Amino acid sequence: MRKKIFKNIEWGILICTILLILIGLVALFSATQNAEYEELKKQIMWLCISIPIFIVVIFIDYEIVAKASPIFYGIFLILLIAVLFTKSINGATSWFNIGSFSIQPSEFAKIFVILVFAKVVSKIEERGKKEISRPTRLILALAVVAVPVALIIIQPDYGTALAFLVATVMILFTAGIDKKYIITSILLVVILLPILYFFVLPDHAKTRIDVFLNPNLDPRGSGYNIIQSKLAIGAGELFGMGVLKGNQTQLGFLYPKTTDFIFAVIGEEMGFVATAGIVILYVILITKTIYVAKTAKDNLGSYIAMGIAGIFIFHMVENIGMTIGLLPITGVPLPFVSYGGSSMLTNLILIGLVLNISGRRQKTIFVE
**Cα gap 137→307, rounded to integer Å:** 19
Q: Does any domain span residue 286?
A: yes
Q: Does any domain span residue 367?
A: no
Q: Does any domain span residue 131?
A: yes
Q: Does any domain span residue 291?
A: yes
Q: Does any domain span residue 366?
A: no
**Cα gap 3→287, rounded to integer Å:** 25
Q: Does any domain span residue 368?
A: no
What is the total count of domains within the chain?
1
Residue 208 · residue 222 · CB < 8 Å? yes
pTM of the model: 0.92
β-pairing, 101-103 vs 96-98, is: antiparallel
Q: Which domain holds residue 39?
A: 2-359
Averages of pLDDT over runs of 10 residues in the chain (368 residues) are 77 97 96 90 95 95 95 96 88 82 91 96 83 84 94 91 93 86 81 78 75 76 87 94 92 90 96 97 97 93 97 96 90 94 96 95 52
According to the model, what pLDDT value does residue 355 have?
96
In 128-267, DSSP assigns E strands to: none
CA distance readout (Å), 224 to 206, 208, 232, 323, 333: 16, 11, 12, 12, 19
According to the model, what pLDDT value does residue 274 have?
96
* Selection from 42, 103, 101, 140 nearest residue 93 by Cα: 103
According to the model, what pLDDT value does residue 187 have?
86
Q: Does any domain span residue 365?
A: no
According to the model, what pLDDT value does residue 363 have?
47
